[in-house]
Amino acid sequence: MERRQIQLPLSEQAVRSLQAGELLALSGPLYTARDAAHKRLTETLRQGLPLPVDLQGQTIYYAGPCPAPPGQVIGSVGPTTSGRMDAYTPLLLQHGLRVMIGKGQRSPDVIAAIQSYGAVYLGATGGAGALLARHVRSSEVIAYPDLGPEAIRRLVVVDFPVIVLIDTKGNNLYLSGPAQYRRDR
């Protein structure tokens, strides 16, 4: 199956066109943020303060990159378990976050928020961080440098391989995939 070429950031219409199970190749800017950064972002919002990055229409990749080896842009940049961000995700979606990339299932509250705010959840292959790093063309810390690898970084990626896990309609590959497998047996 061929990957659909996608340019980031995505418009609302483009996000709504994605379907669970679809393979994508992302190109453009995205942001890394893990649980410590998510906690700070939500605390900032609850205090009524401006965020260090405008989330409107943006993509967050749940990753904490390793340091860059000599001559490389970034070290290994594999996905972390998305469920660790579930407590923070609905509020960030409410404030314009459109695309999330990670691994693992999401809570019912997050799935409901994905549907409510017209967002999408994409999966990157766990254990393939060194291979995924080959798709990163630039990396810059833009917020919370004290968090080290968990700082928010702006990455520019080219043909970054992902799969649509949960689409805007709530179709969930973690449910439909095993069901399809059972039917095909």
Active site residues: 38
List the beta bridge partners of residue 32: 61, 153
131 closest CA partner among 56, 184, 79, 82: 79
| Count of Cβ atoms closer than 10 Å to residue 153 Cβ | 26
Render 44-55 in DSSP notation, one character per residue.
HHHTTPPPSS--
Render 27-40 in DSSP notation, one character per residue.
EEEEEE--HHHHHH
Round to whole Å and give the CA distance between 19 and 171. Answer: 8
For the record, the structure tokens of 35 come out as 């649980």
